[in-house]
Structure 1
Amino acid sequence: MKVEPFLVAVPQADLDDLRARLGRTRWPDELPGVGDEFGVPLARVRELADHWRHRYDWRAAEAELNSHPQFVTEIDGQRIHFLHVRSPRPDALPLVLTHGWPGSVVEFLDVIGPLSVDFHLVVPSIPGWGFSGPTRERGWDVDRVARAWAELMRGLGYRRYGAQGGDWGASVSRALSQHDADHVVGVHLNYLPTPRLPGDPDSARLTPGDQERLAQTEAYLRDQPAVRLVNGTRPQTPAYALNDSPVGLLAWLLDPMTMWAARDFPISPDRVLTNVTLFWLTGTAGTAPRLHRETGGPRSWHTVQPVGVLVLPEDITRPVRSYAERRLPIARWTEADRGGHFPGLEVPELLAADIRAFFLDLGGR
């Protein structure tokens, strides 16, 4: 596997074009007094777009990304971009951290520092996202991504490692635990839907709190948000607008981030805009959702390694522990006191602490 160093170096002309497009935005109409019932509110998008145009500093974000060693390689015909941050401990356990949608590697920027004290970190961009660029052929589903990660870790010389993720990252991590079972020592998840499956105890036997969790999960899976339905069926159609209008892209990504984060939205405007700008500058807003279209319905991966679960109280679904324990070898279960679907952006200190505790308990040093 040939690995080449990579630095983010966006041409100034691209940033000038972005600023000019923001200045030419054709703003849509909005019904008075509807709040967020019809979608992300106009005032919220206007405020962030103004910050994006006049005050947001991509060069500072670029410097932060470049403060971590980055590389590109090719696996299975696909360019793969990844951050590779080695711990000062030579015997540290390697971890591969996988992001989700509508996130990116930006989700992990605030946990790299604390985690790299004890672990070697590999943080790849899923094919279709960011500097991994668009996928060039069909078939890049979760299982193929997991196999690519297994090859990436082998190519880096890691024969024993852990996997972590939420959203799509949780699915990739679980698939990786199956496809590279001899080398994955444990899996840490911060997202684990647990709808009732045949053989599970009847919901009437659950506690009232677990009944609420089950109802929340089944309602979410039954009534998928519009963005998820579009991503899973017709991702090419919105790609034309998302690749042409930065404000359109901002609203498209901000809507699920707002719905799925905690109610007080503890994600800074600059982190939101770094994530959105990464999609914009790489032209991958329309290519990242191909993973959803390619993967299709829910998968079941056989996991034999210990599993740690961090439950965020305001996530879009919260797992029922008794159901989770029927499916996975749960070794650690943490109920956080705050946070939503994006813990790396919302409560990075809680996420880093739980990842560290789980993998150190496995003998990660």
Structure 2
Amino acid sequence: MAGGRRHTLRDIAATLNLSVNTVSRALSGKDGMGEQTRALVLAEAERVGYVPNSMARSLVTGSAMTFGLVITNPSNPFYAQLISSIELRARTYDYSLLLTVTEESAENETRAAESLLRSSVSGAMVVPVQASADPWRRLSTVGVPTVLLNRDLPDLGYRFVGTDNELGGYRATAHAIARGARSIVVLEEDLPITTIADRIAGFRRAMAEAGLATAHGSVMRVPTRRIEQAAQPWQPQQAYEMARRLLRRARLPDAVVVGNDYFALGLYRALEEHGLRAPDDMMVIGFGDHPFSAFLSPPLTTVRLPAEEIGTIAVDLLLEEIAGVRSARPLKQLIAPALVERDSTRRIPGTSVVPPGHRTSVE
């Protein structure tokens, strides 16, 4: 991470040969201050990227023993697991968490970055909206160690840890192919983020390697989390509507890979209304392995995401950044997800087995 330590009132005072009290009064707009002195202080504060420190402990120690954690949508079970993992690991080192939610909003993200700066956190872990890198670039310039989670911003060069979503999309698709599917549709949400793009890329790679065509309409985008201003839980209703459109096609696909397990709820309902059922009429593979997935009828084959591992690694990376330590860990880490096989993709007799190296757990 570029940038040095956070600048303090004492740094500005020492540079200008003024007292800390004078600098503080100038920055707070107090009266009884010469305009020339005030201008000098403001100019120096701007130059070093000074951010007011609102925490009394930080005024003394320069460290709040608090990590900022910014996520996009707390209704996503993956992020619930991630928060729990990070909190548990951070507590081991006597750090607490300051949680902020952006709701996939660029405006909220800018406010979240400013809030972390004012709160004087020791470091930040961020799931970016990916609309712009600018909100998080400033953290580096003022010396706040930052680690990105789940979605990267390559231009910043920050340390990153997340799921290998391309591999997840590949494994889900390859699993369906291994069980006899030759036509496959992906039902994905419509947000312009790398996690989704990577899963679709994995789908296309698996199809290409099997010599199968990805026809027009093989990727259907579900309009999600744009119904209201705030980010909503994934919408089974919207996936249900898309599935009804899919089931009106003259030829149905052999399998559908859905971008999250909530979409499978909508797809299951649409199948039932048409007198169809997985896996006999159409195999279904989910993404996320949410708690309800094993209790659907049939139980859902899905891709399990490594939330706990990502959270633990993220804290360790941030502690290394704070200490200025460069370990043997790579700058960017992608953690492989695992396919959990259940009845929604029960193998068709006479088809091939799972390809070598295709990691699967059976429940």
Q: Bin the TM-score by the shorter chain.
A: 0.3 to 0.5
TM-score, length of structure 1 as denominator length: 0.33
TM-score (norm 2): 0.33
- Tell which has more relative contact order, 1 or 2 (C-alpha 8 A, sep 6+): 1
